[in-house]
Amino acid sequence: MMDPVLSTSPRRAPTALSFLIPSISVVVGASLAFLIFPYDLSFLTRIVIMMIFVVSFDLILGQAGIATLGHAAMYGCGAYAAGLISLHLSPDPLLGLLVGAVAGAVMAWISGLVLLRTHGITLLMISIAVTMVLQETASQARWLTGGADGLAGITVGPLLGLYEFDFVGQVAFIYSVSILAAVLLLCQVLIGSPFGLALRGIEGSASRMRAIGTPVYRRKVTVYVIAGAIAGIAGALAAQVTGLVGIEVFNFSLSADVMVMLILGGAGRLYGALVGTLLFMVVHHVAASIDPLNWLFVIGFMLLIVVFVLPKGLVALPGRLARLLRRTS
Amino acid sequence: MSLILSIVVDGVAYGMILFMISVGLSITMGLMRIINLAHGGFALLGGAAVHLLTTRLDVAFIPAFLVAVLAVVLVSVLLERLLYRHIYGFNELGQVLATIGIVFIMIATVNLFLGSTILPLGAPAIFTTPIDLGFRTLPFHRLVVIISGLLVLAGLWLLMEKTRFGIYLRAAVDNRIAAASLGINTPLVYLVAFATGAGLAAVGGILGAELLPIEAYYPLRYMVLFLIVVSVGGLGSISGSFLASISLGILDTAGRYLLPGIGTIFFFVAIVVLLALRPNGLMGKAQ
């Protein structure tokens, strides 16, 4: 007879298909967007890159419950690394992504070793300070990074040696969407793995996980490095697609925006990261084109509403509405 | 030698401003366990109010200063009643987001009415008169700042150590639940502490406008600085905030004088190292 604890119920057993669902939905959504808004591809590409970045933040905040305000550190390292590689070594886009991922991962490893020993406000402060150090370094090391002017004129060679990046941005869009789909698949596998479950456990109660033998600190560093690599990929993509990297990649507001997007959509779920990013970017685009000053009103009130009314984010909205309806009927 | 003295005087003046603005943040963070990113907003509102009164309504600087601080205290009481009271119960993340939301709305409000340029406060001319200290001349303003910082420190010390309210406040910082069960009206203690902190932030913001100019994005631009003071000093500790403000003021000034360029890097690396070694800050208690 099988031990009931060890048996996995068929409903919970993840199939290959369920791993693919987020990636497939993204590809379908992106294809529709591609057909409906063929003239806004550069904006759509920005959204897709932001989604990759926010998904990476979801790994550490949503899964492991580590709140930082310095996620831009890894994004910026990836962007600078990819920019430098394509300027000085080789214009191959995939090599650039790889270098960006490595840069993000190394940065996450170095900073993670220090900041994951702390928690709460200290962790927030160290993560902010790390990003500040990087921003100042990038602005001072003019010979390498171009200082406040940044790196300009980054060109990338044809994708896989075949597809030249065009002016309309079709190749860039398809390229970014494919990377997003791959990242989502990776995250989905990661979340379903024992490692992912350990992270959820740490989010729930670190002391209990320690009591059952999970090396909490090492798990946190690992997920931080993985998230750093993905953030580095997002930064590298941004550098390749826009052709420039400035010290704004280390801005505090970028780290804060990422957190806002994730919470808006709902932390802990990949769909939340996607929905939140989409909503934030579109509202930002529309509000800023009407009146850039009032954008802060919109986002400020949006934040208060989410925090007070929808603490689980927008993806929890259908469930809440259904419950309300059931109660009234 | 005169270089060292210059660094010390400038650093202390800078530190006093940081102290006045951040001490309220430290108390509220230690007391209510709330991460209030909107604290710098009170300094902004104070500065904006003085700007309005002196430049548009031709009020003299000192009455304008008093009215502005009073107005900020009133606004903070309202905000505490309406919003912050609920935010205390949120987790860390909810607090960060809600207070970022509040600070965005504050910035947008100031931006809407006064624009995003630097707002002159119409300080009296005597502020810029140089005073000869023997080794260098110093604008009178620096002396005002240093003296008001010391007055605030003394006032807070008297309030905390010599009054009944101070006893209540220290009890609530040490153990909120035990304090409440002993019959201390903790919501009132919270309200008074919050309003005092906001008022002091306004004082620091107005007096410090020469060094940290008032403009709409002020709360975001200097938020990191104020939070660093609080986390280095240790949450809820007045002496910790003072020590941290003065030493960070001197450290930052020294970095700018001696290592122009890499001074800021040095400053933030020092913060990271210090927080990694002492996660609860210089004078913080383990939580």
C-beta of residue A48 within 8 angstroms of C-beta of residue A176: yes
A97-106, A170-179, B84-93 — most confident range: A97-106
Q: Is B137 helix (H, G, I), strand (E, B) or coil?
A: strand
Burial class (CB in 10 A: 0-12, 13-18, 19+), A243: middle
Q: In the predicted model, what is the mean pLDDT of residues A241-255?
A: 84
For position A3, what pLDDT does the model report? Answer: 43
Instruction: Say which residues have a Cβ less than 8 Å from residue B251's Cβ, sequence separation at least 6.
Output: B11, B267, B270
Residues 20-49, chain B, touching A (beta carbon < 8 A): 29, 35
The reply to whether ipTM tops 0.85 is: no
A302 vs B276: CB contact, 8 Å cut-off? no
Query: Cα–Cα–Cα angle for A183, A102, A281, nearest 5°?
Result: 45
For position B134, what pLDDT does the model report? Answer: 67
Contacts of A263 in chain B (CB under 8 A): 93, 97
* Chain A residue nearest residue B276, CA to CA: A114
For position A161, what pLDDT does the model report? Answer: 65
- Give yes or no for B113 touching A (CB within 8 A): no
Categorize the per-residue pLDDT at A125 as very low, low, confident or very high, splitting at 50, 70 and 90.
confident
Element housing B131 (H / E): strand B130-132
A126 vs B275: CB contact, 8 Å cut-off? yes
C-beta of residue B51 within 8 angstroms of C-beta of residue B114: yes
pLDDT(A139) > 90: no
Contacts of B109 in chain A (CB under 8 A): 297
C-beta of residue B200 within 8 angstroms of C-beta of residue B152: yes
pLDDT(A13) > 60: no
Categorize the per-residue pLDDT at A101 as very low, low, confident or very high, splitting at 50, 70 and 90.
very high
For position A162, what pLDDT does the model report? Answer: 67
- Closest to B272 (Cβ–Cβ): which among A121, A126, A307? A126
For position A4, what pLDDT does the model report? Answer: 44
- Closest to A303 (Cβ–Cβ): which among B29, B98, B109? B98
Q: Which of A235-239, A312-316, B179-183 shows the lowest mean pLDDT across its residues?
A: A312-316
* Chain B residue nearest residue A262, CA to CA: B97
Residues of A with CB under 8 A from a CB of B: 61, 67, 69, 114-115, 117-122, 124-126, 128-130, 132-133, 136-137, 140, 252-253, 256, 259-260, 263, 267, 293-297, 299-304, 306-308, 311
Structure letter (DSSP) for residue B128: G
A299 vs B86: CB contact, 8 Å cut-off? no
Per-residue DSSP letters for A168-196?
S-HHHHHHHHHHHHHHHHHHHHHHHSHHH
- Give yes or no for B262 touching A (CB within 8 A): yes
Helices (runs of H) and strands (runs of E) counted in chain B: 12, 2
CA neighbor of A277 nearest in space, from A293, A295, A258: A258
- Average pLDDT of chain A is 82
Q: What tokens were used for A7?
A: 């048996």
The crossing angle, in degrees rounded to 10, of helices B186-207 and B164-174 is: 100
For position A11, what pLDDT does the model report? Answer: 47
Q: Is A119 helix (H, G, I), strand (E, B) or coil?
A: coil
C-beta of residue A78 within 8 angstroms of C-beta of residue A236: yes
d(CA A180, CA A182): 5
pLDDT(A314) > 50: yes
Question: pTM for this structure?
Answer: 0.83
B98 vs A308: CB contact, 8 Å cut-off? yes
Interface test with A, best of B275, B278, B282, B287 (most A CBs within 10 A): B275
Q: In the predicted model, what is the mean pLDDT of residues A53-70?
A: 88
The one-digit pLDDT tens for each residue of chain B (287 residues) are 677 888 888 888 889 989 988 888 888 887 777 888 888 899 999 999 998 888 888 888 888 889 999 999 999 999 988 888 888 878 778 888 888 889 988 988 888 888 778 888 777 777 777 777 666 677 788 888 888 899 999 998 898 888 888 888 888 877 878 888 888 888 888 888 889 989 999 998 988 888 888 888 888 888 888 888 888 888 777 888 888 899 888 888 888 888 777 777 888 888 888 887 887 777 666 54
Categorize the per-residue pLDDT at A8 as very low, low, confident or very high, splitting at 50, 70 and 90.
very low
Q: For chain B, which residues make up each domain, given as ranges?
A: 19-216
Structure letter (DSSP) for residue A4: T
B270 phi-psi bin (left φ>0, alpha ψ -120 to 50, beta other): alpha
d(CA A2, CA B22): 61
Categorize the per-residue pLDDT at A167 as very low, low, confident or very high, splitting at 50, 70 and 90.
low
Top-confidence residue, A70 or B132: A70
A121 vs B86: CB contact, 8 Å cut-off? no
Q: For chain A, which residues make up each domain, given as ranges?
A: 20-251
d(CA A277, CA A186): 19
To the nearest whole angstrom, how far is the Cα of B262 from the nearest Cα of chain A?
A: 7
